[in-house]
Chains A and B, each alone.
Chain A
Amino acid sequence: MLSTAIVIATTLVCIALILNLWRLFIGPGRPDRILALDTMYINSIALIILFGIYSGTTLYFEAALLIAMLGFVSTAAMCKYILRGDLIE
């Protein structure tokens, strides 16, 4: 049952990633694209955690934590950049 649930959950998260990619392509403005990238990194954390459950190791949680931190920092940096035209004034 657990393996079936992992397959179902992975399929749903992959569909979510494809929808985010579509929004990243058609997004009318730059904030839309930043939002799509932000959602994409959160969904990739979900995918990594599912892979960690599937393979039965706890090695991947550090990778997920790193992606979470770097994704937040990059989103904040992009927002700041297109808001002010500069990162460090």
Chain B
Amino acid sequence: MEFWIELVVSVFLVVGAVFVLIGSLGLAKLPDFYTRLHGPTKATTLGMGCLLAASVILVTYQQGYLSLHELLITLFLLITAPVTAHMLAKTAMHHNLEILDKTSNKALTKRARDRINP
């Protein structure tokens, strides 16, 4: 295998894994639910994008034709991650989880909770 392809794939793999680790570190260490929510939903999506890009490059080089399986997974994750984050934030608001004191517009959560249809 040529050196520069190996270099690019290795850099993508390590950077993607570091992003995945940062997202999970945010999930483990941040103080309240809403800050914990934004860690994995952003960092993990970017990390998965890097890992799948590495896979696309490697498989395309090995097989000799353009392999687009992995873009399907990337597209699916990019579509579903915001939907999941939105549903989780709505669930947390209706369960009245504790919010950090620094949060702005805290009164809006009560208004969202009191709506008839969650």
Are these two chains actual partners, yes or no? yes
Contact A35 B14 (CB under 8 A): no
Contact A39 B27 (CB under 8 A): yes
Q: Mark B1-41, 1 if CB is under 8 A from A, else 0.
A: 10000110111011011101101110110000100110010
Categorize the interface residue count of chain B. Answer: 35 or more
Contact (A42, B48) CB under 8 Å given A1-B10, A12-B18: yes
Contact A1 B6 (CB under 8 A): yes
- 5 A-B residue pairings within 8 Å (CB atoms): A2-B6, A12-B14, A15-B21, A29-B95, A68-B77
CA–CA, A30 and B91, complex, Å: 9
Closest CB-CB distance, A12 to chain B, in whole Å?
Answer: 4
CA–CA, A48 and B20, complex, Å: 14
Say if the beta carbon of B88 comes within 8 Å of chain A: yes
User: CB within 8 A of A83: which of B7, B47, B94?
Assistant: B94
Contact A34 B91 (CB under 8 A): yes
Residues of B within 8 A of A35 (CB): 27, 33, 36-37, 40, 88
Contact B67 A58 (CB under 8 A): yes
CA–CA, A17 and B21, complex, Å: 8
User: CB within 8 A of A65: which of B7, B37, B72?
Assistant: B72
Residue in B14, B55, B91 whose Cβ sees the most chain A Cβ within 10 Å? B91
Binding site for B on A (CB under 8 A): 1-2, 4-6, 8-10, 12-13, 15-17, 19-20, 22-23, 28-32, 34-36, 38-39, 42-43, 45-46, 49-50, 52-53, 56, 58, 61-62, 64-65, 68-69, 72, 75-76, 79-80, 82-84
Binding site for A on B (CB under 8 A): 1, 6-7, 9-11, 13-14, 16-18, 20-21, 23-25, 27-28, 33, 36-37, 40, 44-45, 47-48, 51-52, 54-55, 58-59, 62-63, 67, 69-70, 72-73, 76-77, 80-81, 83-84, 87-88, 90-92, 94-95, 97, 118
